[in-house]
Amino acid sequence: MKKNILLLRLAFKYCYKQIMCFIFVLSLITFINIAINILNKDMVNALSESMALGKVSSLFIGLVIAYMVLYFISRASGFLWVFGYNYFRCDVDEFFHKIFMIKTDEIPQEKFFDTAFMEKYTFVRKNTDKISSYLGSLLNLIFSNIGTIIGSISIFAAYEPWLILNAAVVAAFSVVVNGYVTKKNMNLIKLK
């Protein structure tokens, strides 16, 4: 646990621009998905009102156009996510590889003839690029998954308060499943 906290502190201290960029991308995608849900509700309400009046209102047409724009942006947001993740991942990987190489230069040459040391050295060298994967999964969990759940709970609280219980159950289940999957993923990474 202390090693994970140390890795997070190092990454935030030296790669904060890349991390903030990735957080911004995740937050933007989450906001777009929540906005689509709100527009969807407003569109259904406007359609019901239009049907009651017997004609299509300009509000409904405007909501449909806004919904379509946000829907296409949402579909294209995968490219934005890939850009943000790769920008973050490449810089974090490079940073930890540089730290590893600096530490390697400080190690006396005779250590490299010790098999126990070489096993640890090989393990660390092989897994330095996994740090960005770990940090990326953590940021994705916090700013995308949990952000979407909190946004959905806010929508439910504003429009259908009784659905908060349903959202809370889904949120708890999502946190447990994501935590379990992330833990198993880290165990698999450690075995490689």
List the domain boundaries for the chain: 15-191
- Please answer whether residues 189 and 130 qualify as being in contact, where contact means their C-beta atoms are separated by less than 8 angstroms: yes
With pLDDT > 70 as the criterion, what percentage of the chain qualifies?
96
- Please answer whether residues 45 and 64 qualify as being in contact, where contact means their C-beta atoms are separated by less than 8 angstroms: no
The CA–CA distances, whole Å, from 16 to 22, 29, 69, 90, 178 equal 10, 20, 32, 13, 25
- Using the CB atoms, write b or e for 74-113: b if 16+ within 10 Å: eeebeebbeebbeebbebbbebbeeeeeeeeeeeeeeeee
Q: What is the pLDDT of residues 131-154, one digit of tens each?
A: 888 888 888 888 888 888 788 777
Mean pLDDT lowest among 19-28, 90-99, 126-135: 126-135
- Which residue, among 11, 2, 1, 44, has the nearest Cα to 131 in the 3D structure? 11
Q: What is the pLDDT of residues 85-119, one digit of tens each?
A: 888 888 888 888 888 888 888 888 888 888 888 88
Q: What is the mean pLDDT of residues 148-176?
A: 79
- Please answer whether residues 135 and 8 qualify as being in contact, where contact means their C-beta atoms are separated by less than 8 angstroms: yes
